[in-house]
Structure 1
Amino acid sequence: MKSLGLNEIREKYLSFFEGKDHLRMGSFSLVPQNDKSLLLINAGMAPLKPYFTGQEKPPKKRVTTCQKCIRTGDIENVGKTSRHATFFEMLGNFSFGDYFKEEVIPWAWEFVTEVLEIPEERLYVSIYEKDDEAFKIWNEKVGLKPERIIRLGKEDNFWEIGVGPCGPCSEIYFDRGEEYGCGSKDCAPGCDCDRFVEFWNLVFTQFDKDEEGNYNPLPNPNIDTGAGLERLAAIMQGVTSIFDVDTIKAIRDHVCKIAGVKYQEDNKKDISIRVITDHIRAITFMASDGILPSNEGRGYVFRRLLRRAVRHGKLLGINKLFLKELALTVIETSKEAYPELEEKKEYILKVLSVEEQRFNETIDQGLEILKEYIKELKESKQNTLSGEKCFRLYDTYGFPIDLTKEILEEEGFTLDEQGFMKEMEAQRQRARSAREETTYMGSEESIYTKLNKEWTTQFKGYNTLNVSDAIIRAIVTNNEFINEAKENQEVSIIVDKTPFYAESGGQVGDKGIIKTDKGTVKITDCIKVSGNNFAHIGKVVQGSISVGDKASLEVNKSDRMATARNHSATHLLQKALRNILGNHVEQAGSYVSSERLRFDFVHFAPLTQEELKKVEEEVNEKILENLPINICETNIDEARKMGAMALFGEKYGEIVRVVNMGNYSIELCGGTHLKNTASVGTFKIISETGVSAGVRRIEAVTGQAALNYFREQENYIKEAAAILKTVPNQVVRKIETLINEVKNNQKEIEKLRAKISTSAVEDILSSKQDIKGVSLLTARFDELDMNGLRNMGDNLKNKIGSGVIVLATGKDNKVNFVVMITDDVVKKGAHAGNMIREIAKVAGGGGGGRPNMAQAGGKDISKIDKALNKAAEILSGQLQ
């Protein structure tokens, strides 16, 4: 058996099935599309579910892929075993109602024994115990001896998820040898020991399970196979661990180099090495698909994996930012199969570096919090940290529970693991409830999924705004198909061809008119529905329309042109942002309509006014250069050679559409655009804000909308000038003059207040009361704020020498009180905090403070004088 590299095995597999007339498709994004049942793609067949269910027509009935996947169910075991991983690649070949067992079983055997040259005597297969058909093919057609075909029960060899498509499966095992076995005479495939390694599962989807539990035969059964690439590479390279496979070993060795440690010298360190090796693969691929770290959903998975990697780096003694270095090795070993790694390299490295830096800061904060918790435990003479506090460290500061446990044990304390798990389960329940209960595809079937699967709508709108010979295929109203729609009915119309652009890629659907001989429909939106059909949404405004009618369709030209201006401007904007901020800038979302454009992008700080100015100037400069906008269709490889930018999560076919703006901006895009950049007219940014961690948003206008914006701003200036009794170009100077006048007036007011206060002090001192030999001063100053009231109190306290001062203010409808008492009077029993509490209560407020000084608020201005009058009574009571 010859040794083959992981990349070599992948290529051999895909080439083999291409030779069996399969369409080779690139890996789908890790982000599921239109599937709410999954957080991340976790199996090779997951992105293909619409083809299996018949919701969408596959590009070919035979398909082969190598799909990147992430599973985190066993995350705690990653690093502790030789086989657990969060990131892996799944080889698969699929049939959508084409071939079945008779073909796939011999092909699998041919690939394993003839292409990979695995000796037949080291191979076993398992089948579902009732699947005699599979047994017969393995035995009679392939020639496998009956003793090498193991029948297993439903739990092992029958694939199903609730109701829907399901079926028996057959697995292929590699015998590693008796030395890896458990020693039992019954040891065979399916045993829990390490001898027999399952590496390829052939699923025969031949039933449809209904709500009653009946297994109904599918008229067109499917084939869904999955082979773990890393596991297969371990077999071919004669190693017992996926961490010894060539491409993964390269990352593992790089971890050891950075940490200055050797692999397989210390078990604890080996665990950390394996954790980092696995997690850096996962987060590098997640970043390449546009996933950003956050506190929820798939972003939380990203953050958790990254923080675990950093934490294990610290356990290995790595005290610097290191993920960026490791990501370069991941990119280098996998970029040939996944070109997006190289294309998004700068972005990937930036995302990892920023998040790693943030975590280093939060982990230090977490250590400080834990020190406080330990201090509290010592002071309260307790020995167990609560599960709630452990979870807060884990959830807020990324502290793994084992780290908290380790630090506590060093100080002689334990933690409430049961309480921690209770908090963890509560979080899981919140996450589950946040995700809706779903069907197999994660979304409820709509009326559109019942459309004829052979139908698609031909889009003609790149070259024309009019189509005169369309046929109405279906009419929907109130979620039902109807044959005829009459005046004033709200409808959704499916036609065979259309000039209307259906909402996608952030661009809104076109508006316009559909006419037949009998009626007219005003279209207000156009959307893509099942099977790449376009639904034209609108209202019958005249006559009636019927299924089968010949129709003419006309798009609103001014709306389409305004939308195209904004769409072309987003391309210019993205390029300008990358030039000015860096190539880490990537589109994170957009909205393009006839009124405005919104562009979300990855960046980790608000843009300065200078940066915004530069971006706006560069976009307008390219508009004035009148760059030609050339659009061509080519294959994905040629598009990449041209330097075309692709969008995250977008699944591009073999033929792609490239929008080239004078070689300045080159992007893959299916939207509608102008003929040249000058047609944008002008570009104006109206806002820049944050959307979420690491994502910024720019909103802008172009063309007529930009002129309207400038006109509106001009009107504001004219209105301001009229109010200021000046001309527009003198508004700023006039405002500066007024501000200086206000400042000078404020100074005069303060001088007057000081004079009034001095005079008031003399008046108050002359009106002091004697309460059991203690001087009491009470006064009200509605012109003072709280700060002024305190200053007045200090002034009076210095003047009085010995006594009690009680002051109040009702400024700006706010009631405030201050009580100050000299130290000698405090010794006689007076207490400012207790005194002010009773005083403030009269005015509907409360407060407190020290024995010598206190302040409080109130609600009822009309009760201020009554509250002040109560001061003498309260003081008298304290002096007893």
Structure 2
Amino acid sequence: MKTAEIARRYLDYFEKKGHTIVPSASLVSDDPALLFTVAGMVPFIPYLSGDVPAPYKRAADNQKCIRTNDIEEVGKTPRHGTFFQMLGNWSFGDYFKKDAIRYAWELLTTPDEDGGLGFDPKDLWVTVYEEDDEAIQLWLEHSTLPEERIQRLGKDTNYWTTGLPGPAGPCSEIFFDRGPAYGIDGGPATDDDRYVEIWNLVFMQYEITNVRSKYEFDIIGDLPAQNIDTGMGLERVAFIKQGVDNMYETDQVRPVLDKAVELSGKRYGENHEDDVRFRVVADHIRSSLMLLSDGVTPANDGRGYILRRLMRRAIRSMRLLGVDGPTFAELFAVSRDAMKESYPVVETDYARLAQYALAEEATFLRTLASGSEILDTSIESAKSTQSTALSGSQAFLLHDTYGFPIDLTLEIAEEAGLTVDRAGFDTLMKEQRDRAKADARSRKGQLADTSIYRDFRALGETVFTGYTDLETESRILGILVDGAPADRASQGQIAEVIVAETALYAESGGQVADKGVIVGPGYELEVLDVQKPVPGLISHTVEVTTGEVAVGHVATTVVDAANRRAAAQAHSATHLVHAALRDTLGKSATQAGSLNRAGYLRFDFSWGQALSPETRSEIEEIANNAVRDDLEVTTRVMSLDEAKAAGAMALFGEKYGDTVRMVDIGGPWSRELCAGTHVSSSAQVGLINLVGESSVGASNRRVEALVGQDAFRELAAERAIVSQLTSGLKIPRDQLPARIAELQANLKAAEKKIAQFEAKALGERVPALAAAAVSAGAYRVVAQSVGTVGSADDLRSLALQIRERLGSDAGVVALGGAAGGRPVVIVATNDAARAAGAKAGLLAKTAAGVLGGGGGGRDDVAQGGGTDASALPTALTSIVSALEGATA
């Protein structure tokens, strides 16, 4: 039974049981405590906790999930994958334990031919929370399980929490027995791989606080309603139903594994280490494809770092399988074909996804090449000092700074006959992880407990009137002071205020929050921020500037009209720039992020190379032509499907409900889903001035623009500068570029002549400096400071000339000087000195340590530097001392 068919049967079954079928939420989680949707229940947390009223009593879904906390186990066990799909059925205050158990058993054991999943009851086991007698009794009543196949387990396995204050409850897990060939008898309590968990039924009924660990917390009472949260692992059911040994061999994953086998020329099933690598490739390619399809792009932090890590682990695994060249073009195409039946977007948007993947692969292959050079230098250095190992710090530097995998460091070092201080590397890695965990705990600890908004949200959605009104009269529904409910707030206090209706725009969709005030009888509040802490609720952070405000007071929200107008200009300009980019670059130049505030816009888009000045000018001209043409701006509210059918762009990274707002500028020329505020016609934008274009990743570019009055001021300032230049140089404006180029050429020529004079003057000092050679052990040494030089290259040239003057004796030249205001030391050795053991790189490093910097290089010539120019005499003396000590 194919994976897509299992999902279809599951959803069909629960739809017949009165469940609303809900599409999968994005892999990018709305929860600020999470980078990704790590479990099927994440999108439903507001409903399960009661913070937001559920729009349905029963629901079922197939949720995409990403989880990387067990990434090192991928490929080693039959069930660990970074991307997985969780089938779930949900009840929000409707049915509870009995029906959850009854539904699960019926679907699992109904024969294939009757639309079920066809599991033999004799292969199924169940675990329950050890104190949940009710669940045991229900299993006995609604299944054919004998009591000995129902096992009681403790909180560590059969009590569900998020790990944070909020909803919790006992759970019951269903396991499939793979048979004696896979392990020992005894049921799931043995914790053996023979028993595969396929479904978890969570009976969510309590609210907990003071969470100290997975099984240490305080139950503070019942949830507002008893809920059911279940999750059936689609990949786990698929590998059982398809008769294969693990999830990597199922129909949605195995094709990638087979392609990796073909590219490597090796066989699957012959070598355990190679098999693990094949599985890692298959899993990580699919996970990367799905993350890209939900708008995540490779980056050095956050979600983008996780994606980058997955891709680089796949490249590393292919390299360890003997493939050094690019493979993503073939691997991603195979994964696309395997996943498109379940997720058509991976085919329709494949050009964009492949662009990111191929660019990331090319970048990392270059990283591997440069990392190999650095590693080769480290190996050569270790051998020159008769060391048999590379330090843990060297391996960590390669991993952390250059992205060079430790596995490759170990492999290459072993080929060179060296070991790596793996313990030292692991210690540094642990320290880095501990810092990251501490930072994550810190950020998590700073997150507001959204349950404080539950009672306010229960009163209904906040009505936003700001599309048509800049003032709206309402009533104060709630006040929060220091994160706790309060009945009033007084002058000077900072508080959060909830009202029933508001004209103030809450930050979203790249548009910053409105500025404004909230006023009422005897009080005035300055609005500092406007946010949506939970879906459907708008909260205003305010400072009480006059009087005292209390719950129940009449309140009028007043928008700063000038700021709103400028923000609307910027947001509409963003749409115009997006359309102009697509006109100029093509449809693959899609939005990857934006920021709009009064007078300014920042727009990120998918593109792999810098824009030429001509292209920038063309984009700017197209956008401003749209302003000149005074295009009508219209908005319509419709279903998401209707908007997509009309050609509206659903931007990656954005979340959309069933009903959306579509913004047209000039009809279909610019048609996007957008909840922001806009001008009524494009001429009201005024002016768009592109002021910057830069890279924000391997496949992302960013343009920045000033809008309206801010754009005019910038152009006026540039005009003033041009006027000053033309006046000072006494030339017409159209001759200014040529005149500046002429001045630059003259300046370069003068600098070249000065450098020649300086080099000649330095060269004239060669005889005197060579004559100043002194004995230091077995060496003749010139160790002199020559003062200020034009560059380190000048100092290097002088050192090499002096070295030639030292003849056949073991000669070492160490010259110090100041170049660009910083101290520099050049060390040069001749053949006789090197034969006697003198190494220029080590000597330069010695001097650099005195100067407060670093240095090194080849044995014949090397350079060091630092920050303390006053220490140059001491640095040169240290070289002489080192040579005397080496002789001794």
| Structure 1 residues 423 and 598: alpha-carbon distance in aligned structure 2, compared to 1, 3 A threshold | same
| Superposition pairs of residues 106-121 of structure 1, within 5 angstroms | 106-114=102-110, 115-121=115-121
Mapped contact 1:784–1:809 kept (Cα < 8 A): no
* Corresponding pairs, count: 832
Within 2, Cα distance between the matches of 1:784 and 1:651? 58
The DSSP-based 3-state class of the residue aligned with 2:660 is strand
| Structure 1 residues 376 and 181: alpha-carbon distance in aligned structure 2, compared to 1, 3 A threshold | same
Match of 1:10 among 7, 11, 28: 7
Shift of 1:104: 0.9
Mapped contact 2:392–2:425 kept (Cα < 8 A): yes
The DSSP-based 3-state class of the residue aligned with 1:687 is strand
Per-residue CA deviations over 1:733-785 (Å, capped at 9, x if unaligned) read 66567667778988999999999999x99xx99xx99xxxxxxxx99999999
| Structure 1 residues 658 and 272: alpha-carbon distance in aligned structure 2, compared to 1, 3 A threshold | same
Match of 1:58 among 50, 54, 57: 54
Per-residue CA deviations over 1:172-222 (Å, capped at 9, x if unaligned) read 22334x4435465xx334334454332111111233444485545524333
Shift of 1:15: 3.0
* Letter in structure 1 aligned against 2:139: W
Within 2, Cα distance between the matches of 1:23 and 1:472? 35
| Structure 1 residues 737 and 430: alpha-carbon distance in aligned structure 2, compared to 1, 3 A threshold | closer
Shift of 1:479: 5.2
Within 1, Cα distance between the matches of 2:193 and 2:866? 76
Shift of 1:478: 5.8
Per-residue CA deviations over 1:138-195 (Å, capped at 9, x if unaligned) read 112x14343354222203323345565332211222334x4435465xx334334454
Mapped contact 1:180–1:193 kept (Cα < 8 A): no
Shift of 1:671: 0.8
Within 1, Cα distance between the matches of 2:591 and 2:615? 18
* Letter in structure 2 aligned against 1:391: F
Per-residue CA deviations over 1:703-746 (Å, capped at 9, x if unaligned) read 22222222222222223334445565564566567667778988
Paired position in structure 1 for 2:189: 190
Deviates more, 1:298-307 or 1:196-205: 298-307
1:276 aligns with 2:281: yes
* Letter in structure 1 aligned against 2:21: R
Per-residue CA deviations over 1:622-677 (Å, capped at 9, x if unaligned) read 33343333322222233333333223332211112222332122222111122333
Within 2, Cα distance between the matches of 1:691 and 1:192? 46
Shift of 1:89: 1.0
Shift of 1:505: 1.3
* Letter in structure 2 aligned against 1:147: E
| Superposition pairs of residues 79-478 of structure 1, within 5 angstroms | 79-114=75-110, 115-122=115-122, 123-140=124-141, 142-147=142-147, 149-154=149-154, 155-160=156-161, 162=163, 164-176=166-178, 178-180=179-181, 182=183, 184=185, 187-211=186-210, 213-219=217-223, 220-264=225-269, 267-437=272-442, 443-445=447-449, 449=453, 451-461=455-465, 463-476=467-480
Shift of 1:49: 2.9
The DSSP-based 3-state class of the residue aligned with 1:136 is helix
Within 2, Cα distance between the matches of 1:12 and 1:646? 29
Paired position in structure 2 for 1:574: 578
1:633 aligns with 2:629: no
The DSSP-based 3-state class of the residue aligned with 1:671 is coil
Mapped contact 1:169–1:203 kept (Cα < 8 A): yes
| Structure 1 residues 757 and 233: alpha-carbon distance in aligned structure 2, compared to 1, 3 A threshold | closer
Per-residue CA deviations over 1:575-629 (Å, capped at 9, x if unaligned) read 3334444544443332211221122334443333223222212222333343333
| Structure 1 residues 470 and 375: alpha-carbon distance in aligned structure 2, compared to 1, 3 A threshold | same
| Structure 1 residues 130 and 696: alpha-carbon distance in aligned structure 2, compared to 1, 3 A threshold | same
Mapped contact 2:208–2:220 kept (Cα < 8 A): yes
Within 2, Cα distance between the matches of 1:755 and 1:144? 100
Paired position in structure 2 for 1:505: 509
| Structure 1 residues 728 and 525: alpha-carbon distance in aligned structure 2, compared to 1, 3 A threshold | farther
Mapped contact 2:509–2:654 kept (Cα < 8 A): no
The DSSP-based 3-state class of the residue aligned with 1:474 is strand
The DSSP-based 3-state class of the residue aligned with 1:190 is helix
Per-residue CA deviations over 1:298-330 (Å, capped at 9, x if unaligned) read 433323322222233234444442223222232
The DSSP-based 3-state class of the residue aligned with 2:668 is coil
* Bigger Rg, which one: 1
| Structure 1 residues 296 and 703: alpha-carbon distance in aligned structure 2, compared to 1, 3 A threshold | closer
| Structure 1 residues 282 and 683: alpha-carbon distance in aligned structure 2, compared to 1, 3 A threshold | same
Report the TM-score when normalising by structure 1: 0.80
Mapped contact 1:56–1:530 kept (Cα < 8 A): yes
RMSD: 5.1
Within 1, Cα distance between the matches of 2:169 and 2:253? 34
Deviates more, 1:266-275 or 1:569-578: 266-275
The DSSP-based 3-state class of the residue aligned with 1:359 is helix
Mapped contact 1:55–1:531 kept (Cα < 8 A): no
Paired position in structure 2 for 1:611: 615
Shift of 1:566: 0.9
Shift of 1:531: 5.1
Within 1, Cα distance between the matches of 2:358 and 2:802? 59
Within 1, Cα distance between the matches of 2:558 and 2:800? 80
Paired position in structure 2 for 1:671: 676
* Letter in structure 1 aligned against 2:703: I
Mapped contact 2:206–2:222 kept (Cα < 8 A): yes
Within 2, Cα distance between the matches of 1:743 and 1:377? 44
Within 1, Cα distance between the matches of 2:320 and 2:864? 52
| Structure 1 residues 755 and 387: alpha-carbon distance in aligned structure 2, compared to 1, 3 A threshold | closer
Mapped contact 2:506–2:513 kept (Cα < 8 A): yes
State the percentage of identical aligned residues. 38
Runs of 5+ unmatched residues, structure 2: 211-215, 773-783, 805-814, 829-854, 856-860, 873-888
Paired position in structure 1 for 2:708: 703
Report the TM-score when normalising by structure 2: 0.80
The DSSP-based 3-state class of the residue aligned with 2:605 is strand
| Structure 1 residues 247 and 671: alpha-carbon distance in aligned structure 2, compared to 1, 3 A threshold | same
Mapped contact 1:27–1:68 kept (Cα < 8 A): yes
Match of 2:25 among 23, 28, 33: 28
